[in-house]
A and B are shown apart, each in its own frame.
Chain A
Amino acid sequence: MLVSKLKVLRSHGKQFIPDLQGVKLPDTFRGRPRITGPIPSELAGELERICPVGAITAEPFSLDTGRCVFCNECAMRAPQHIVFTSDYRLSSADRDALVVRENAPEAIDFRADKVRTCIHRLFGRALKLREVSAGGDNATEMELNASMNVNFDFSRFGIDFVASPRHADGVVLTGPLTENMARALEICYNSIPAPRILILAGSDAVSGGLFADSPALQRDFLDRYPVDLYIPGNPVHPLTFIDGIMTLLGHYRREPWLQAQ
């Protein structure tokens, strides 16, 4: 018995990633798009038409990563103009900053100036989150679970998911926010002691994504409560999530690097 356990342990080895910021994702990973302009207007129009979620605007050309489901189709049609880089740092405190334009700086602007001042002070050392899935397809949900697993071990920073909203400091919403889940989400959110934060994880949470046009959604909750963090992805990669939260809390900084470019 003991021998079999030792064998598992030996093969298991050390799994956790000591330096999460040092990880490079493979080139195939579709992270922040880089758009090299100018894109001829005919091509731009075609890209706008083929995008299955309306993330592309032709004039002036832009790609909204808050809508994008990272299908890669536009980059395959216009490889000399659009490349999805493996930069997984996709989140921002500002919805507008998710829109990438031609020849934009080599980073999504986090807009740390938009972060409510109480967030660093109250949650900087410990943050407990309640996840609510409202039409999520279980991919982002599994990635949020994975961010706590043996590899990413996010709870090493004092950040955890908890079972009860009463124990939580905020909600992480996944999914496009279905009509049938709207009431439960609001009850949950209001059960969290104020001040509370709201995080949208995944392109479907940020914009409705593929389901944005569906009458089965009811997203007015998002008009009534402030959103602190937008995290694009389909699904959100654990590193994207970890980077987003850590930047929100002021532990990671994106701006100096942005200015260096």
Chain B
Amino acid sequence: MGMNAHWDKTMNRWLKIDPREGRVSLNELPRLAYAELYDDLNRCLQDENFHVASYFGVTVPEGVLLICLVADDASGGVWLASYLYGEGGERILPSLTAVHPALHVFEREMTENFGICFADSPWNKPLRYAHDRADRRQSMNCYPFYAIEGEALHEVNVGPIHAGIIEPGCFRFICNGEQIVHLEIMLGYQHRGVERLLRETDNRLRQTLLCESVAGDSAVAHGSAYAMLVERLGQRPASEVLELERAIALELERIAVHLADTGALCMDIGYQLGQVACEALRTIVINTTQAWCGNRFGKGLIRPGGSFYPLTDGLRTLVRNNMEEVRRRFAEVTDDLLDSASVLARFEDCGVLTRTQALRIGAVGEAARASDLKRDVRASHPWGPYGALIVHEPVMAAGGDVFSRLKIRLGEVMQSISYVNTLIDRLDEIPEKSPRPDYTFPLAPSALAFSMQEGWRGEIVHVGLTDAGGRLCAYKLKDPSLHNWLGLALAVRGEGISDFPICNKSFNLSYCGHDL
């Protein structure tokens, strides 16, 4: 019996969906008892190819329905099941976090939003102090920080406002002298109520813009996840040209941020040459995106059903030339960086997230790949040109340290440049243009659709549900930061507190993407 067949049998209570289809009718959605959901999850998550892509509650007439999406990286399958909270009379649910810590974010969110109790959860703390939280008395001012007693220990609080121009979040360190013993990260300052606004509007342009603003540095990735989701609900698959253009935009976004992060890491160790060279290269890339769509972050480019900004012949030449320029110059920067012992000395063996840790916390994206954990939606659950025109082989590193996360970026900049060229070559062969955006096509009623994208940080998952009238009535977003923040907290243990900035930059996680 092959592995796939084995899992089909184990997960036989779940609905297996072709991720290229990504849509089911709500009455096909299996409803399990909590014990079944618990057992199945517990079992499949012992295979490291499995991870929970999304797990969340939605309000339905009968109560709160918990919906779970499990992704299998080996087969590319996605399994779906649900459980109506309290259906079997239970109020307190056994926590899966105790066995699979990766689930802590999902369970904490359910507790926060719906007051669902999980027994024996080792870490059931507020997640983001959402405005619609079940218990409004829960206040950020009394977050239950973990504390350790000891004469030699002291606490350092950083935030919510940080030294640089970045988003707010609170970092509480427990230190033994200079050395970090423990770091706890409290978030929620950036909470804007994105998911609520998404379901409260019928204006699909507004929904698109909200998704573009989930994390401004991932406007293309979240925008594309939204567009793909409604196109699935509307059974209006994007044309090939549109998919190619979206993939080009996504890879440009990846290149730009990786360059920015490489520069920022250089800055933090006083390696000014690397910093300024990367800043200048990033400028080239985001100005290319600006020439294309008028916005350096790609806002305005991704729209459901079509696009206002075709990549014209002139723009294709511009993109090609600029990519060549960046490739040449970034190769020189990389050579110098890898040749500078004083640079490597700061990055190597600093801020290690081991593979086991990465796996246990459910790390995704570049941080996971730097810890030798192959998580990349472009390879595991490919869409559009991925898996066909581009057979993606993820860039990997094994050290789990700051240097490994840097090496992923160095490798991916070059890889993405070559992808952009391949995508444009294919675009050249197609005479059609992409159609104009369409915000009005009808959506399938009583349906669920999901979409996955590999943004530069990692796995983005959007899930949307429609009501009987075909109106988007629930929307669940997941930014990769949701998982990876705990990775940062673990990686800094044992490091000097003065190395925190480079550890933090090496992850560069999103606050607003987490807080929504």
Of the candidate stretches A100-108, A143-151, A246-254, the one touching chain B is: A143-151
Asked if B165 CB lies within 8 Å of chain A CBs, one says yes
With both beta carbons as reference points, the residue of chain A lying nearest to B338 in the complex is identified as A4
Alpha-carbon distance A180/B293, docked complex (angstroms): 34
Is there contact, CB below 8 Å, between B193 and A184? no
Asked if B50 CB lies within 8 Å of chain A CBs, one says no
- In the assembled complex, the CB of A192 is this many whole angstroms from the nearest CB of chain B, namely 12
CB neighbours (8 Å) of B296 from chain A are 143, 235, 237
CB neighbours (8 Å) of B300 from chain A are 30, 70-72
Asked if B466 CB lies within 8 Å of chain A CBs, one says no
Asked if A126 CB lies within 8 Å of chain B CBs, one says no
Is there contact, CB below 8 Å, between B160 and A184? yes
With both beta carbons as reference points, the residue of chain B lying nearest to A185 in the complex is identified as B161
Alpha-carbon distance A251/B216, docked complex (angstroms): 31
CB neighbours (8 Å) of A71 from chain B are 205, 209, 299-300
Known contacts A136-B512, A150-B276; A178 and B339 CB within 8 A of each other: no
Chain B residues numbered 278-300 whose CB sits less than 8 Å from any CB in chain A: 279-280, 283, 290-297, 299-300
CB neighbours (8 Å) of A25 from chain B are 290
Residue from the list A15, A73, A76, A184 in contact with B280, Cβ < 8 A: A15
Interface centre among A28, A73, A216, A235 (most CB of B within 10 A): A216
Is there contact, CB below 8 Å, between B260 and A142? yes
Asked if A135 CB lies within 8 Å of chain B CBs, one says yes
Alpha-carbon distance A213/B206, docked complex (angstroms): 12
Residue from the list A1, A136, A237 in contact with B167, Cβ < 8 A: A136
Of the candidate stretches A5-13, A56-64, A89-97, A112-120, the one touching chain B is: A5-13
Asked if B321 CB lies within 8 Å of chain A CBs, one says no
Of the candidate stretches B3-11, B325-333, B365-373, B415-423, the one touching chain A is: B325-333
Asked if B192 CB lies within 8 Å of chain A CBs, one says yes
Asked if A227 CB lies within 8 Å of chain B CBs, one says no
Contact flags A168-194 to B (C-beta < 8 A → 1, else 0)? 000000011011110110001000000
Residue from the list A1, A15, A73, A139 in contact with B299, Cβ < 8 A: A139
Asked if B203 CB lies within 8 Å of chain A CBs, one says yes
Alpha-carbon distance A156/B212, docked complex (angstroms): 33
Asked if A259 CB lies within 8 Å of chain B CBs, one says no
Is there contact, CB below 8 Å, between B161 and A175? no
Is there contact, CB below 8 Å, between A151 and B280? yes
CB neighbours (8 Å) of A132 from chain B are 161, 168
Is there contact, CB below 8 Å, between A180 and B167? no
CB neighbours (8 Å) of B216 from chain A are 136-142, 235
CB neighbours (8 Å) of A214 from chain B are 131, 192-193, 196-197
With both beta carbons as reference points, the residue of chain B lying nearest to A149 in the complex is identified as B279
Asked if A207 CB lies within 8 Å of chain B CBs, one says no
With both beta carbons as reference points, the residue of chain B lying nearest to A233 in the complex is identified as B295
Alpha-carbon distance A235/B299, docked complex (angstroms): 9
Known contacts A8-B336, A132-B161, A138-B217; A28 and B290 CB within 8 A of each other: yes
Asked if B510 CB lies within 8 Å of chain A CBs, one says yes
Is there contact, CB below 8 Å, between A184 and B206? no
Is there contact, CB below 8 Å, between A178 and B205? no
CB neighbours (8 Å) of B328 from chain A are 11
CB neighbours (8 Å) of B332 from chain A are 4, 7-8, 11
Contact flags A3-42 to B (C-beta < 8 A → 1, else 0)? 0110111011001000000000110111000000000000
With both beta carbons as reference points, the residue of chain A lying nearest to B283 in the complex is identified as A151
Interface centre among A70, A143, A175, A180 (most CB of B within 10 A): A180
Asked if B398 CB lies within 8 Å of chain A CBs, one says no
Is there contact, CB below 8 Å, between A138 and B291? no
Is there contact, CB below 8 Å, between A72 and B213? no
Asked if B308 CB lies within 8 Å of chain A CBs, one says yes
Asked if A131 CB lies within 8 Å of chain B CBs, one says yes
With both beta carbons as reference points, the residue of chain B lying nearest to A11 in the complex is identified as B329
Is there contact, CB below 8 Å, between A12 and B209? no
CB neighbours (8 Å) of B193 from chain A are 211, 214-217
Contact flags B296-309 to A (C-beta < 8 A → 1, else 0)? 11011000000011
- In the assembled complex, the CB of A176 is this many whole angstroms from the nearest CB of chain B, namely 6
- In the assembled complex, the CB of B419 is this many whole angstroms from the nearest CB of chain A, namely 23
Asked if A210 CB lies within 8 Å of chain B CBs, one says yes
Known contacts A8-B332, A138-B216; A52 and B283 CB within 8 A of each other: no
Asked if B140 CB lies within 8 Å of chain A CBs, one says yes
Asked if B188 CB lies within 8 Å of chain A CBs, one says yes
Asked if B191 CB lies within 8 Å of chain A CBs, one says yes
Asked if A50 CB lies within 8 Å of chain B CBs, one says yes
Alpha-carbon distance A234/B188, docked complex (angstroms): 22
Interface centre among B168, B197, B206, B283 (most CB of A within 10 A): B168
Contact flags B259-285 to A (C-beta < 8 A → 1, else 0)? 010000000000001101101100100
Is there contact, CB below 8 Å, between A4 and B190? no
CB neighbours (8 Å) of B205 from chain A are 50, 52, 71, 73
Known contacts A28-B291, A161-B165; A210 and B210 CB within 8 A of each other: yes
- In the assembled complex, the CB of A145 is this many whole angstroms from the nearest CB of chain B, namely 5
Is there contact, CB below 8 Å, between A184 and B336? no
Asked if A163 CB lies within 8 Å of chain B CBs, one says yes
CB neighbours (8 Å) of A69 from chain B are 209
Asked if A82 CB lies within 8 Å of chain B CBs, one says no
Asked if A134 CB lies within 8 Å of chain B CBs, one says yes
CB neighbours (8 Å) of A9 from chain B are 273
Known contacts A71-B205, A180-B140; A138 and B510 CB within 8 A of each other: yes
Asked if B59 CB lies within 8 Å of chain A CBs, one says no
- In the assembled complex, the CB of B472 is this many whole angstroms from the nearest CB of chain A, namely 15
Is there contact, CB below 8 Å, between A142 and B131? no
- In the assembled complex, the CB of B47 is this many whole angstroms from the nearest CB of chain A, namely 35
Asked if B129 CB lies within 8 Å of chain A CBs, one says yes
Q: A28-B294, A180-B140, A181-B190 are in contact. List 19 more A-B contacts (CB 8 A).
A: A1-B339, A4-B336, A7-B335, A8-B273, A28-B309, A52-B209, A71-B209, A133-B165, A135-B191, A138-B511, A139-B216, A139-B299, A146-B283, A184-B161, A184-B168, A210-B210, A211-B192, A214-B192, A235-B299
Can you give 17 A-B contacts (C-beta < 8 A)? A4-B332, A7-B332, A8-B277, A12-B276, A28-B290, A30-B294, A71-B209, A131-B165, A133-B166, A136-B512, A137-B217, A138-B215, A138-B216, A138-B511, A163-B163, A211-B193, A217-B193
Closest 4 CB pairs of A and B: A139-B216, A137-B216, A52-B206, A216-B193
